[in-house]
Structure formats: structure tokens, C-alpha cells
Structure 1
Amino acid sequence: MFKTNNLNWQARIISMIAVFGLLHIGSVVAQTATGFVYVDKNGNGKKDSRETGLPNVAVSNGVQVVKTKKDGRYELPIGNDNILFVIKPSDFAVPIDSAMLPRYYYIHKPGGSPASMKYPGVKPTGPLPEEVNFALVPKKESRQFRALVFGDPQVYSQQDLDWFRKGILEEVKDVKGMTFGMSLGDLVGDNLHLFADYKREMATLGIPWYNMVGNHDLNFDNGVDSLSDESYEATFGPANYAFEYGKAHFIVLDDILAPDPRKNSGYWAGLRPDQLEFVKNDLANTDTAKLIVISYHIPMKDYGGRAFRTADRVKLFEYLKNYAHVLLMSGHTHLQKQNFYTREEGWLGEGQLHEYNAGTTSGDWYSGELDQNNVPFATMRDGTEKGYAFLNLDGNTYSIDYKVAGKPSAYQMSIFAPKVIGHRKDTSVDFYVNFFMGTENSKVEYRIGEGKWVPMNRVQTIDPNYYQAFERWDLTDELMSGRRPSDAAISSHLWKGVISTELPLGNHIVNIRAADMFGRVFTAERQVRVDAPKPLPKVK
């Protein structure tokens, strides 16, 4: 009980500082930031005398959100450690730098990041300018568009960067028609010097790219959660921000509490009061008819409070209660799963709230045997093969496509089945289908040849394909190149069927069809041969 009260008291203190103390963080002198959001007609990034301001555009200091006045001017309180940013409205573009990173923010940190940090942070920014202006350029946006989604690139070394480039980026460069892309945290693996290398590699895709912070992107040496993202901020900007495209409003959040307030070390998942206040204020300025897409690194499933601080999720869901169209996206687990939140978990809207816990571009941390290009297959522990996703937007509705790296887009499931079975040797033989985007309600069926379609049974067990590949590392006579895969995990999207041994001798096609949560049907097939059993040899 004492610990709970202590945490609640700390939360109140933080909330008061966040909401009311911006004027006094690091300074006893109140400051007000002001400037214009304007139409940058000549594209020079500076507000010229003939360039007009834009009214009714949202600007934030990371907590408060205000709308610009008729002349495009805004005013916001600011302390000595804040990032000001414009919330890009639909049908406008923000400047994009040479690394394809959107430039929609201004960092105000006169003293810079703590000098004692292991990795470099923000350099001293000097006094607050008289005006902090934000340029926008009119750009008509379709209400139908696609965005790329990367789960956990998580490069630990130059070797990982080579694998990431060859296994993912070279393929994605050929993808056309993408509006922008987003990585769901864990851009690197603890070595924050690699931010620059990651940024350089991502720029080769040639599309605007939004990022977020993960638990492997943090400055743990600062010992304060609000300072744990200093190196990230120096490279990518604010860890909490928002922007709009078409009929969708995107909110990006840093949901890692570092250090974990329960033990003052490590990390926990949750949201600080100032972050929740930002979401509340942002949504207050957002049309309830829009699709709200909230992205963060660690999934919000709490598992009894062990993984995510439950009270923070409940508060977030309270702010979302008036929005009928909401999608959550996360990474972190190196699995792929469709999570759903109900009233029992604090969701106040109709039906269930969908969280797409995305598969990763690093797969199982670049582990496993190497392919023809000497890149690890890195299949994830639940049998999901490494890849990336497409978020498809149509007005305020969405669908998601998962793309396995190096395979056709139609490849949406793996099959584990025997190549040959004995005629009437046993009653039946089991086979398994791993439907990568499946949910517990997905309809997965099979038939043999032109026979009747039969429902498959969803099972919660490990993927036998994954386990077979995993065992090779223990049974090999010679060491294999690469890193041994992680132990298998229970798959949330695995189905089992049976093949009768009464089938006639010869080859048979096992046809599979599976419907995803968006009503789309995917197919696959596998050939199985039925042979006459071999007679047993005489005992020697």
C-alpha cells in the first residue's frame, strides 16, 4: 500500500510540473514562445514579409496544444527543456531534410543535454528566438493512401546494418506509391552512435519517415525518464508528437518509463502524466470523425500490471471514448499478434479496440541460418517470417498487409505437412498452417483436391516449422554460420488440420484458404504423396 501511495504522489507531482510548471523548468523567469505557422511559398524555410500566416493550425510544447489565430500566430509557455512543434494538418506538407526526416519542430534547450551522458544529446540551443515559425506547403492529400510500417529494425552493429540493408531496404526501395513510413521503436540496439547510420540507410528509401523511441534507444545513464530520450531527440526530434494525413490523425508516444519507478532501474511500459495531458489536449482539437492512429513501442496489454502500467492505459482510453475509429500500433515483442481491448480492460468505445503488434524487420534479432545472400532468415519465435507491413487508409477506415521479406506478397501463411504418408498406415496425419495475420476469430479451412472445405482448429502451441529449424542448431555435426535462434514461443495464429490415410495412392493437393480480420481471403497449397507402406524387414 505504501508503494502505491508513493507512486500516486509522485505522479501528482510530475503532473503538476508538466501542466503548470513549464514556465519554471530550469528557470525562474517565465517565458512565452511565439511565432507563426505560415505558407512557405518560395520553399526557403523562412517566413518572408509577403508570406501569410495560416489560421487554426495546432501547435504544441509537448503538453499544451493551441490553435493559431487568424494571422497564423500562436503563443505557448516554455521552459528550458521543451520542444515546440506544429501538428501537420491534412493537405499540407512540412519541410523534409536530406535524410527524409520531417522538420516540424524546434528544440529549446539553452543548456543542452547533460554533459555526463555516454552518448551525445542536444547541443546548447541558446536563448529563445523572438519568433519560432513553422513552414507549411499546400499539398493535396488523397483520402486513400498507403504507409510503410517497420517493426524494430534494432541494429546492434555494422553487420546488422548490412543485413538490414540487404534483407529489407533493398527490397522496399522498389515499392511504389508510399505516402510515408514509420518505425515502431528500437531503431538500434543500445549503441546510440548507430542512430546516424540508421538514419543514413533509411534516407535511401526516398520517402518521408517518422520514427519513435524504443527501450533500446534510450539514455539509461541519466536516471530520469524525461531525460532518457536525449540522444533520440538530438537525431529525430520529439518523442511525443502528432500529425495528420487525409482523414487520419496520427499520435506517436514514448511509452517506456525509464527507470522503472517501482525499482528505480530498468524500464516499465506506461505514460507519464504530461504525455497523457498532451494526448488529451491534442484530441480536444481533433475531429471525432477522423481515424485516430496511436503508435508506441511496447504493447498496452498489461498482464496483471507486469508489462504496462494499467492506470495509464485506462486514462488514455478515457480520452478516446468519443472516437469511433481508432487503431493502435506497437512493436517490441518480436512476434506478430492482433491484440484486442474490451471494456474489462478499460476500452469505452463500441466493440473491441484493435492493436496491431507488428512483426519486425529484424525478425528474431537477425538470428538463424543464412539465405542465398548471406542474410539471416530470422524467423520470429511464433513462426512469423521477418518482414514489414503496409497500413492502407481509406477515409477513416484501415486495413493492414504483412509482407514477408524476399517472398511474393501473396505469401501469407506457412504450412507444415508431411511430404509422404503411408496408405492406411495410421488413421490420419496432422498438419499445421501459420497464418501470419490471423486472429483468434480467423476462419481457416482446407480441402484435399476438389473435396469439401473443412474448418481447421486454432491451436496454441509452437510452430513446428520454427522448431524444426531451431533443432538443426542442436543436432548439427558442424557449427553453422550466424546466431542460434531464440527458443520457440506459443503462436497466436496457428491452425491444425488432419489428412486421412484413406486417400488413394498418388499425389494430392492440400488447399488452404484463410480470411483475415478485414474480410480478405488468402490461399496456399501443399502437395502430399500417399504411398503403399513398406513391408517390415525380417529380424536379423
Structure 2
Amino acid sequence: MKKIITGIGLLLFSLNILGQDIAKGYVFEDINLNGKKDRKEQGIPQVSVSNGTQVVQTDKKGKYELPITNDNIIFVIKPEGYATKLNENNLPQFYYIHKPEGSPKSKFSGVQPTGKLPRSVNFALTLSEEKEALTALVFGDPQPYNVQEIEYFTKGIISEVDGIKNIPFGLSLGDLVGNNLELFEPYIKAVQKVGIPWYNVMGNHDMNFDAPQDHLSDETYEAHFGPANYSFNYGKVHFIIMDDILYPDPRDEKGYWGGFRKDQLDFIENDLKYVNKDKLIVLAWHIPLLEPTGEDTFKNEDKQRLFTMLSEFPHTLSLSAHTHIQRQDFFGEQDGFIRDVQHHEYNVGTTSGDWYSGKLDEQGIPISVMRDGTPKGYAFIHFDGNKYQTDYKVAGKEKDFQMKIFAPKVVATGRNTQAGIFVNFFMGKEDDEVLYRIDGGDWKSMEYTATKDPSYEILVYEWDLAEQLMPGRRSSNPINSTHLWRGNIPTKLKPGKHTIEIKATDMFGKTYTATTSYQLENPR
């Protein structure tokens, strides 16, 4: 009789050849909160579980099976209406690391040997009320290079959001530290003070630089935070977190390049198979899809495959950091994103600002304004079902501080001047409406201009003109801002003080106002 190899038998045969095994277990409701599946605790059906590439769903008893290698992380994709356990540092524990021999030797230690694969790898979930209207707190690039900068981060950012209410979770968009991976622990302890579940993205300064291959560059990150690629659901939003740094750069084996390995893109594709099309898909990574200088910083074929996958979903948003500026980018048909509505990427301003540079404030913390004139701060993303709005909070300022006005202090009466009124609207984009008026007169449109913010130029050149060394560190040179507007200064008015009012409306229809003044004096 001829022996027939079934599809399952062929799969198992192939797995054995590749040194793979099968991980199996349950996703269950942990009623008594002990983290273990007790006899009376029921499995949860139709929950996605992944090995970082493949994604399967649990059966009616909550059971799953996945192939696994000797270098894998198995994780549950948190479903809507459930919560995962947190550790003492408020980091969600949704994964199991399987590295029997541990991570390869590196300058910074990775995962310790995990030993033999458990007979059952189970994931405990608890029921959790999730509202469709929610707000997430988002940090860009904390990036401390030393303990002093951990203190700047803690005093300048964490102290403002310590114990924040009505925010179900937070997210850091990479560059959690600055190359010294021993700072992961103090970073974790600092963020733990916020008091809410915290998710993390891997950045290019969070890598093992001595890794010979990209898939080994996240070993120390994994030891502290778990998988660098994962997803979860909250309300009507599906979040996909990705490491988008290819290191070493596959083009020349030097430096890094924005993009994904094939297995990472396969994960996104496999994950989205089980996501309802009416959900909002929010992708979070470190390196933005667009480089404003036109440099080739992101692998185009990866971007195109990503856009093809996302084109089936009518509601999408991506979040990035990395640039240490703030920007709103949009992708349409000309970029390969074929859909009626463009894809929006919010490139979030950073909590470290311009790398902790600039003058020191009254607390001894660098003011660290970014090169485009955006002050350091953090973002809030407000979700309502599959809709969203974004807000930016400047550190140390009231929440309505959304723009910086630059205008001359004194101008000659009756004389034409090339001086202007400049408004840096931190969350703005080119087609936003920014109006101004003088002394309560008629509102006039300001002109969008892609140039350097004079307010920031003053901060930088103060260092160059100082006759004595100033405390702190000189900021980076100015670059063109993507959210700057200009208006002319009326000079044919009576001598004296004149009030400038600004009214700016963002892409979500939210309007902000600010005022300043200038003096007109007769020429001498």
C-alpha cells in the first residue's frame, strides 16, 4: 500500500527539518486573577495569537497552536473588552519568550536562557470595560544618553503626567534611550510613575549595534519589553506596533534604513486578516514614512506593500517620531496609497525636544526647543469609535499654548518695513487657516511660508553672540518649519501700542487664539 503524506504530516515534517516545534495553549478569562488557567476558567474563542509572523485564532475552547523556533516570542493580540496582566512597572505581559539558549552574546545582555518549551503556553485575560471614546498619551523620543538626562525627562515630562486620570494607556514611539541600553531600567522606572499601562516602540538608538543581522538587533529590547512587533485592540481601534529599522542597512551593511523584513510585513498582513474593516487601524513605529529633505530614508517597496494592505481599510493613521521636529504628512495616489481618503501620518514632537539642548529653565532643565520651533512636549490622540483627533501639549505650558508669535517690538510709524509677524502653529499643516487682525479690525489671512522660525533662530544665535559661556548646550541649527505663517505689519497707524490677535484652526476644526503687541514710534 502506498503511504500517503497528509498536509498536516508534511507540515510537521517540514517543521522538524527547520528545527521548529509547536507551541500550544489557551487564551482564557482569569477570573481569580492568579495568572493560571484553573479548571473552571473558560477559554476565550476567536482571539488572535501570533509567533511574530503567523497569526491564528483560538478555537471555541480558547485553544491555539503555532509553529515556533528556538528564537521566538509567542504573544496574544489583546481583544476588545479585555485587559492583559501588568507587571510592577505597568508593562503589559501579553507574551512568552522562547529562547532555550538565550540571546547571543552582546555588549548589552539580552534574554537569559528560557529552557524547554512549556507543555502549555497560556495567556490570561480579564474582562475590562472599554469605551469607544478614549484618549492615549504618546511620547516621542525620550532618548536620555545618561542619568542626568533621565532626570531631565522625569522632572520636565513625567512630573506633569504623574497620576494622570482617564487615560487608559500610554505609548513611547522609540528611542527610549540613547544607545546606552543600561538606561532601559531607569527609563522604565521613570515612566512607571505615570501610573497607567505603557506600550513601547523600538527606535534606532535602542538597538544592539553589535548585532550581525537585523533580527538580532532587538535582543536587549526584547529582554525588557517583549516583542518589537505586536498588536492589540482597544475600543474600535486596532493598534499595530512595529520596529521599522533595518540594521545593518541591507544596501551596504552600514548604519540603518527605514523599512521592514519580509516576516514583519507578513505579520501585518496575517494580523489584518482577522480585523474588522470598520475599525481604525493605527500603526506606530519610529522612523517616519516620509523624509522632508527628500533623502532615501525609507525602503520604498516596503512602503508600497504596506499601503496595498492598508488600502482595504477606510480608516487609518500612523504615528512616528525620530526627526525631533513635528509634522503632518499625507499620502495619496501619487504615493501609491490608492484610496479615496489620504493616509495621515503624525510625526510627533519629542519629549527630549532638541536632544536636551538650549538654555536652562528655572528648574535647571534645558528648554530644548526643536529645530522647527516646536517646543518639547507630548501628544494626546483622542479616539471616538473609528475617528480620531490629535493634540499636542507643550511641556511646562498651559494646554491652550498652541502657537508662538514672533513680531518686532518697535516699528517706525509711516515707514514700509520688510519685518513681519510670524506664527508657528505647532500642530498646523499647509492648508490650515491662520488669521490675524490688528486692534480688533478685520481678520486677514496669513501666508503659509516654508522657512525658519525667527523665534527659534534667536534662541540659537544667542549662544553665538554671547561673550561668556552659557549654562547648558547650544541647540541645533534651525531648519524650515512645516507649520509657519507670515503677515505684514501695518505701520500707517497712530504712534503707540497696537494689539495683534491670531486665530488658527487645525485640520479637525479646533480653533486656537493668541495675542501679542508692537509699538509704533515716530522716526528719529
Is the TM-score greater than 0.5?
A: yes
Gap runs ≥5 in structure 1: 1-19, 535-540
Q: What's 2:246 paired with?
A: 257
1:13-32 correspondence runs (5 A): 28-32=18-22
Instruction: Find 1:199's aligned residue among 171, 188, 203.
Output: 188
Instruction: Find 2:359's aligned residue among 364, 369, 374.
Output: 369
Query: Aligned to 1:340, what secondary structure does the other structure show?
Result: strand
Structure 2 residue 219 is matched with structure 1 residue 238: no
With 342-351 and 366-375 compared, the bigger mean Cα shift is at 342-351
Instruction: Find 2:264's aligned residue among 260, 275, 294.
Output: 275
Query: Aligned to 2:174, what secondary structure does the other structure show?
Result: coil
Query: Aligned to 2:151, what secondary structure does the other structure show?
Result: helix
Query: Aligned to 2:480, what secondary structure does the other structure show?
Result: coil
Instruction: Find 1:126's aligned residue among 86, 97, 115.
Output: 115
Query: CA offset at residue 305 of structure 1?
Result: 6.8
Q: What's 2:53 paired with?
A: 63
Do the aligned partners of residues 23 and 526 (structure 1) sit closer, same or farther apart at CA in structure 2, a change above 3 Å counting? farther
1: distance between equivalents of 2:14 and 2:183? Answer: 34
Query: CA offset at residue 30 of structure 1?
Result: 3.7
2: distance between equivalents of 1:451 and 1:494? Answer: 22
Q: What's 1:33 paired with?
A: 23
Query: Aligned to 1:526, what secondary structure does the other structure show?
Result: strand
Do the aligned partners of residues 305 and 479 (structure 1) sit closer, same or farther apart at CA in structure 2, a change above 3 Å counting? closer
Query: CA offset at residue 25 of structure 1?
Result: 8.9
Query: Aligned to 1:198, what secondary structure does the other structure show?
Result: helix
With 386-395 and 501-510 compared, the bigger mean Cα shift is at 501-510
Cα pair 1:188 1:217 within 8 Å, conserved: yes
Query: What stretches of structure 1 move > 2 A for 4+ residues in a row?
Result: 20-30, 302-305, 425-429
Q: Deviations over 1:225-276 (max 9, x none)?
A: 0000000000000000000100000000000000000011210010110000
Q: What's 2:488 paired with?
A: 498
1:7-156 correspondence runs (5 A): 28-115=18-105, 117-156=106-145
Q: What's 1:468 paired with?
A: 458
Identity of aligned residues (%): 52
Query: CA offset at residue 22 of structure 1?
Result: 11
Q: Deviations over 1:193-241 (max 9, x none)?
A: 0001100111011000000100000001011000000000000000000
Query: Aligned to 2:168, what secondary structure does the other structure show?
Result: strand
Structure 2 residue 510 is matched with structure 1 residue 520: yes
The TM-score normalised by the length of structure 1 is 0.93
Query: Aligned to 2:363, what secondary structure does the other structure show?
Result: coil
Query: Amino acid of the residue matched to residue 224 of structure 1?
Result: Q
Instruction: Find 1:388's aligned residue among 370, 375, 378.
Output: 378
2: distance between equivalents of 1:22 and 1:423? Answer: 86
Structure 2 residue 295 is matched with structure 1 residue 311: no
Q: Deviations over 1:131-190 (max 9, x none)?
A: 000000001100001110000000100010010011100011153211100000000000
Q: What's 1:170 paired with?
A: 159
2: distance between equivalents of 1:281 and 1:332? Answer: 27
Structure 2 residue 171 is matched with structure 1 residue 179: no
Cα pair 1:111 1:126 within 8 Å, conserved: yes
Structure 2 residue 403 is matched with structure 1 residue 403: no
Q: Deviations over 1:31-86 (max 9, x none)?
A: 11000000000101111111110001000000111110000000000011010000
Query: CA offset at residue 422 of structure 1?
Result: 1.5
Query: Aligned to 1:274, what secondary structure does the other structure show?
Result: helix
Gap runs ≥5 in structure 2: 1-9
The TM-score normalised by the length of structure 2 is 0.96
Do the aligned partners of residues 372 and 380 (structure 1) sit closer, same or farther apart at CA in structure 2, a change above 3 Å counting? same
1: distance between equivalents of 2:12 and 2:284? Answer: 25
Query: Aligned to 2:205, what secondary structure does the other structure show?
Result: helix
Q: What's 1:5 paired with?
A: none
Instruction: Find 1:228's aligned residue among 193, 211, 217.
Output: 217
Query: Amino acid of the residue matched to residue 388 of structure 2?
Result: Y
Instruction: Find 1:486's aligned residue among 443, 464, 476.
Output: 476
1: distance between equivalents of 2:14 and 2:413? Answer: 81
1: distance between equivalents of 2:12 and 2:209? Answer: 24
Query: CA offset at residue 374 of structure 1?
Result: 0.5
Residues paired across the two proteins, number: 514
Cα pair 1:23 1:30 within 8 Å, conserved: no
Do the aligned partners of residues 24 and 161 (structure 1) sit closer, same or farther apart at CA in structure 2, a change above 3 Å counting? farther
